[in-house]
Structure 1
Amino acid sequence: MTRAPLGDHDRPGYLAELTGVRSGKRSFYPAYVTSIERLEGVIHALDRISRTLVRTVEEQDSLLRATVRTAAEHVDAEYALFAVADSVLPEAEPRCTIIGPGGRQLSTVDPMPGYVRACLTRVLAGALDFDDPGSEPGRHLRVPVALEREVVGGLLLWAPRGREIDATDEAVLRILASQSVVALHNSSLHRRSERAQQELLAARQREVLDSERNRIARELHDSVTQSVLSAGMQIELCRADATGEAAERLGVAKDLTRGAVDQLRSVIHALSHDREHAHHGLPELLERLTSVHLPTELAVELRIGGKPVDLPAGAEHSLFRICGEALFNSAVHGHARRALIRLTYRPDQVVLAVSDDGCGEPEVLRRVLRVAGGQDLDGAHRGLANMDARARELGGTFSVRRSRIGGVKIVVGVPLDG
């Protein structure tokens, strides 16, 4: 073995220049070159692994693709797959990645050899025997993927015949598989942590909203409700000394204050019990409305038609308020004893109808709506105009009809998006 002088350009290969080593044996140098080339391949693969693993938080799919492609290129594999069992890492997606000839990524429904599909199925089921050398064509390598000393998946490669896979290659592939599943696990933990933080933030927001609702409920009870009750008592005292038309008007005023107190009490109840009775949509809101919103003299029935769908919060709130106002009018102005709420879900719209058996006249109410623009309506009609405005804000329709049970029927149609 002799030391080659630097600058001697007729010696073979760049490795001699790098090491300054030659051998007098003809077999030494080719083996040496092969060994160094393998070492360079290992270093290149490890470099690619390190650059792959830094993307685990945001790109799980990209991580798995890069993992399997790096492994396939390292051993010139015709087919390669990386998969974790369905029973582990529930947040990890996708569950597997498959690389075919030419580095083409395959999906689970793409054509592939039966032995590849069979191994994939067994890995996902957690039933693959990694000690079985397999009988597939070419050089078949099975690398188990372990997490906390438990095999959770595998990296499988099918190299062409004649491609030698030595212990160094296997070590690289084991490092690649192990680090990838650890990174995948860390990514799953990161996503789980993000969800926990979101749930904690939502809980804090609900706590703040509950506190504010309770504060508003107390204010309404201790100030506004008491003031309205006091006003009603003063009206009753004046009514005792009044006669004729004045007494009649004072009677109407007393009824209005009583209705206002009932509405305030229903609002206070809703604010105080919102957390305990969390609703899941408009049907439940209306169900609650029938039991807490109105004087006991009005019997209210709710009927739901069609398959309920989620509505925007603003639309649910507006329909809820329209229904509440319609029931209030039925009880206070229409002197109804019975009311029926129908909420119907159609393919293109949601229809809310409130019918009563009171003394209201649909034609009179329609005439009031036609001339309502910009006018100062009294309390009996201001609510009607407000219902119409809410329906129009939702891009819907509002109409007043004769009810089949004898009184007024309020109908609101709201279009569904998409």
Structure 2
Amino acid sequence: MVRAVAEAARIHLDAEWILIALADGALPEASPRHLILDSAGVAYAFEGLSGATDPGPHLPDAVLNRLNDILRGQLAQFRLPVIERQHAHVPIELDDVVIGAFAAWTPRSRALDTSDEVVMRILSSQTAVALQNCSLFSKSQALLAESEARNAELLATQRELGAAQRHQVLDSERHRIARELHDSVAQTVLSAGMQIEVCRGELESQSASSDLIDRLDLAKDLSRSAVEQLRSAIYALNHPGDAQRSSLPEMLDQLATVHMPEDLRVTLKVVGSPVEMPSDVEHALLRIAGEALFNTAMHGHATRAIVRLNYTPAAVALSIADDGTGEPEKLRMMLRLSEAADVDGHHRGLANMRARAREHGGTLEVLRSRIGGVRVVATVPAPNEKRTGHDD
């Protein structure tokens, strides 16, 4: 824009030299700081103008001296326009403050008059606007770059917080399962072992058959082995070695393949491209998976389970299928009863799972699995979809 203004002045005045310059310190972000055109339209500048020629010895003393005066801020003598026969000087003003100057030198054949002063005043105003716009643009670019840098830092911080929250969720789930195993299952197995020992002692006193005593010994050994396995699982749950794991598929992998009984083989399948979801949604899905696998291991008498996490543009579906003895129709009936009345019992876990899914606009279904047992499916909207609560 500044180049265009200078070119317009050169053509209108048929000038030999055109000078536009800003005083040092005025509009520090503006560029170019100065511009000189000769009669052929060749641009000269000491700095800040792409494609300009180094002035070197080309500048007349009058032009060079005027440039130095303007750059040094010696503008007091130029506060008013100067119109001479072959020379004109008009201040560049912004908010009534002189920030630079616009000067022209013409050949002897081109005398300047008052109409030329009007034209130069107009061009000077356009120059001030152009330089101010340039300064504002440079500031906005700097602010944009700073904003982008801060946004990048914020996103990195959010990712770190999300990872920390997911770690906390996984630790919480581990400790919950460990408490349930210790407070209920382990104590029950210990009690069963004690009862077996009592029965064995009574049978020995009654001279029972050795085959029956051998079976009780086997049952006692099995209960002792079960207690040891439970203790190992509880220790592993309370002392995880996966602090770096953070994504939902990784947390499900830990939950599904590391912290389950040895006689239950669990497989995790991830379909689609995983996307980062809000931590509360991932927490809900992880709790649903934990509850479903706990039911499979403790109540379903299953030997195999498949955890499937399916990412689509519209939704994320989590399913847990097993080959156990569970009956979907019976579980659905128990689910309806538990929702209709606040009842206790392990079937309350299904109601909790459905409540977690609904809390995030999702659904929960209990179906027959393809491998023979029960299939629990929780579906929640994808992060870019609007969440609305609804029933199955």
Report matched runs for 1:14-413 at 5 Å: 42-43=22-23, 45-49=24-28, 66-68=29-31, 71=32, 75=35, 137-141=41-45, 143=47, 155-156=49-50, 166=64, 169=67, 229=186, 232-238=189-195, 241=198, 264-265=234-235, 267-269=237-239, 272-275=240-243, 277-279=244-246, 281-373=247-339, 374-379=341-346, 381-413=347-379
Corresponding position: 1:417 with 2:383: yes
Question: Residue deviations 1:305-353, cap 9 Å, x none?
Answer: 1222111111111111111211111121111001111111112001111
Report if aligned partners of 2:338, 2:351 keep a CA contact under 8 Å in 1. yes
Report if aligned partners of 2:323, 2:372 keep a CA contact under 8 Å in 1. yes
Unaligned runs of 5+ in 1: 1-37, 50-65, 78-135, 144-153, 176-182, 244-250
Larger Rg computed on CA atoms:
2
Give the drift of 1:227: 5.8
Report matched runs for 1:3-22 at 5 Å: none
CA distance in 2, matches of 1:169, 1:319: 71
CA distance in 1, matches of 2:369, 2:174: 38
CA distance in 2, matches of 1:218, 1:415: 26
Residues 361 and 226 of structure 1: is their aligned pair in 2 closer, same or farther, counting only changes over 3 Å? closer
Q: State the aligned residue count.
A: 273
- Matched position secondary structure for 2:348: helix
Counterpart code for 1:273: G
Give the drift of 1:417: 3.4
Question: Residue deviations 1:156-191, cap 9 Å, x none?
Answer: 3769xx99863774898899xxxxxxx99x999999
Counterpart code for 2:64: D
CA distance in 2, matches of 1:257, 1:141: 87
Question: Residue deviations 1:81-131, cap 9 Å, x none?
Answer: xxxxxxxxxxxxxxxxxxxxxxxxxxxxxxxxxxxxxxxxxxxxxxxxxxx
Give the drift of 1:48: 2.9
Question: TM-score, with normalisation over the residues of structure 1?
Answer: 0.49
Counterpart code for 1:138: V
Report if aligned partners of 1:396, 1:412 keep a CA contact under 8 Å in 2. yes
Residue identity (%): 32
Structure 2 residue aligned with 1:115 = none
Structure 2 residue aligned with 1:110 = none
Report if aligned partners of 2:165, 2:279 keep a CA contact under 8 Å in 1. no
CA distance in 2, matches of 1:400, 1:368: 11
- Matched position secondary structure for 1:316: helix
Structure 1 residue aligned with 2:86 = none
Residues 407 and 216 of structure 1: is their aligned pair in 2 closer, same or farther, counting only changes over 3 Å? closer
- Matched position secondary structure for 1:47: coil
CA distance in 1, matches of 2:199, 2:167: 45
Report if aligned partners of 1:400, 1:409 keep a CA contact under 8 Å in 2. yes
User: What is the alpha-carbon root mean square deviation over aligned residues?
Assistant: 5.7
CA distance in 1, matches of 2:45, 2:309: 63
CA distance in 2, matches of 1:256, 1:375: 33
CA distance in 1, matches of 2:178, 2:318: 34
Give the drift of 1:368: 0.6
Give the drift of 1:195: 9.6
Report if aligned partners of 1:391, 1:397 keep a CA contact under 8 Å in 2. yes
Residues 413 and 262 of structure 1: is their aligned pair in 2 closer, same or farther, counting only changes over 3 Å? farther
Question: Residue deviations 1:125-158, cap 9 Å, x none?
Answer: xxxxxxxxxxx94324262xxxxxxxxxx54376
Residues 67 and 242 of structure 1: is their aligned pair in 2 closer, same or farther, counting only changes over 3 Å? farther
Counterpart code for 2:26: D
Unaligned runs of 5+ in 2: 1-18, 54-58, 74-138, 201-219, 385-392
CA distance in 2, matches of 1:341, 1:322: 11
Question: Residue deviations 1:361-385, cap 9 Å, x none?
Answer: 0000000111112422212x12222
Question: TM-score, with normalisation over the residues of structure 2?
Answer: 0.52
CA distance in 1, matches of 2:172, 2:289: 22
CA distance in 2, matches of 1:399, 1:352: 11
Report if aligned partners of 2:322, 2:372 keep a CA contact under 8 Å in 1. yes
Residues 356 and 313 of structure 1: is their aligned pair in 2 closer, same or farther, counting only changes over 3 Å? same
